[in-house]
Amino acid sequence: MKIIEDAVERGADNLSEFESKQVLSGYGIPVTMEKTATSMEETVSAANSIGYPVVLKASGEELQHKTELNLIRLDLKDASQVRQAYTELLEESTIPITEVLIQQMLSGNRELLAGLKRDSQFGPCVVFGLGGILAEILEDVSIRVAPITTFDAMDMMENIRGKKILEPFRGKPQVDRKALAELLIALGTIGLENSAVAEIDINPIKVIDGRPVAVDALVVLEKSP
């Protein structure tokens, strides 16, 4: 895939969030509506185009941990809030910011994670589990070696301890398991077709009207020998 090839050529360790989601989208994985901008006016114009509320994030290959760096502003409801958030991001960042990511704000109580890990022995492996801020604490995941089938993907869903999160929840419909299975299968395909991809981390995946949508994503590249 050209985005990945270009990143490898320039010696990048990983893709930006925007580039990562372009890769996912290219394989049919649903992602948030978003745009990048390099000035305040472009940022406001993008927010107006996407529709409020929006999220504003610092963007770039060097910014893998935006939450820890306080480089995310949520639930911005108008152009004035976007302008203020843009100014804050540029003033507070210790890393030079050349662009920002403007993203639709999605709300939902259920958060999942999915990803890809390239194992030295088994090759690309697909990961699925509970996501959000508790992912590292709960460590509730299921793993299968790619390529995976629909049966494998469905079995992964049944093999996490918190599988009830996929059922109807607080008035919300059950998760579309077929759509979720297609997402997991696509991750395996990315790993098989792109040897330069070492890891993919999608966390969180929000459940919107029963369907999974990738809200945050990172594609890590193999180290050059």
134-187 per-position pLDDT tens digit: 788 888 999 999 999 999 999 999 999 999 999 998 888 999 999 999 999 999
| Mean of pLDDT over the chain | 93
Is pLDDT at 64 greater than 80 in this prediction?
no
Q: What is the pLDDT of residue 68?
A: 63
Helix (H, G, I), strand (E, B) or coil at 193: helix
pLDDT of residue 96: 82
Mean pLDDT of 97-119: 94
Q: 205-223 burial string, b = 16+ CB within 10 Å, else e?
A: bbbbebbbbbbbbbbbbee
Identity of the amino acid at 27: Y
The pairs formed by 78-86 with CB atoms below 8 angstroms and a separation of 24 or more are 78/52, 79/44, 79/47, 79/48, 82/43, 82/44, 82/47, 82/54, 82/56, 83/40, 83/43, 83/44, 85/56, 86/40, 86/43, 86/44, 86/56
pLDDT of residue 63: 67
Assign 66 a pLDDT band (cuts: 50, 70, 90).
low
Residue 59 pLDDT > 90: no
Q: What is the pLDDT of residues 172-191, one digit of tens each?
A: 899 999 999 999 999 999 99
Other beta carbons within 10 angstroms of residue 34's beta carbon come to 20
Supply 161's token pair.
């301890």
Q: What digits encode the pLDDT tens for the residues 115-135?
A: 999 999 999 999 999 998 878
